[in-house]
């Protein structure tokens, strides 16, 4: 178990150091901003949706390692997914980080399972889920900034 935890830590460190899709998307049709004042995490997510599929996604922002790595891993995970599948994945991720699902399906979650340990740190749950709430707002076209408060 300790080895697994170390592996997960590596995933988070890697994505914090070299975040994927960390760029302004030039050609997008959905956008939302997310704010976690408790920690100071701020992100902006742009999505290009084509025929109900997340064709491309980019993000900018600043925050702690957890929020940055989570946003990076999220963009990697949902790119190419239908909106329905991305919403389902958010449900699984949310259940994992909040501890509602104590035995998350690692196969479905893939690298996202790296955030399984977050449930031990309630203050960090918001850091890990900010990206997903922001994506949801973008896909729903709410246009309102998301705050975890």
Residues within the interface to Zn ion (CB under 5 A): 39, 41, 64, 67, 127
- Closer Cβ to Zn ion, 67 or 129, answer by number: 67
Is residue 32 a contact partner of residue 40, using CB atoms and an 8 Å limit? no
**Of 38, 25, 35, the residue nearest 62 (C-alpha):** 35
Whole-angstrom Cα distance, residue 68 to residue 12?
9
- Closer Cβ to Zn ion, 30 or 116, answer by number: 116
- Closer Cβ to Zn ion, 86 or 130, answer by number: 130
Least distance from C-beta 67 to Zn ion, angstroms? Answer: 4
Q: How many other CB atoms sit within 10 Å of the CB of residue 101?
A: 17
Least distance from C-beta 36 to Zn ion, angstroms? Answer: 6
Residues 6+ apart with CB under 8 A from 146: 32, 33, 34, 35, 130, 133, 134, 137
- Closer Cβ to Zn ion, 46 or 70, answer by number: 70
Least distance from C-beta 59 to Zn ion, angstroms? Answer: 15
Whole-angstrom Cα distance, residue 47 to residue 103?
31
- Closer Cβ to Zn ion, 35 or 41, answer by number: 41
Least distance from C-beta 5 to Zn ion, angstroms? Answer: 19
Least distance from C-beta 105 to Zn ion, angstroms? Answer: 25
Is residue 107 a contact partner of residue 100, using CB atoms and an 8 Å limit? no
């Amino acid at each position: 178990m300790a080895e697994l935890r170390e592996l997960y830590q590596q995933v988070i460190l890697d994505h914090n150091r070299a975040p994927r899709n960390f760029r302004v998307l030039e050609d997008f049709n959905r956008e939302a901003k997310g704010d976690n004042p408790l920690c100071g995490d701020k992100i902006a997510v742009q999505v290009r949706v084509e025929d109900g599929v997340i064709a491309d996604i980019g993000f900018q922002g600043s925050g702690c390692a957890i929020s940055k790595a989570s946003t990076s891993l999220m963009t990697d995970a949902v790119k190419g997914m239908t909106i329905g599948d991305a919403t389902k994945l958010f449900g699984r991720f949310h259940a994992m980080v909040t501890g509602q699902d104590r035995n998350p399906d690692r196969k479905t979650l893939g690298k996202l399972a790296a955030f399984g340990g977050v449930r031990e740190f309630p203050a960090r749950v918001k850091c890990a889920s900010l990206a997903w709430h922001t994506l949801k707002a973008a896909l729903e076209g709410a246009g309102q900034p998301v705050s975890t408060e």
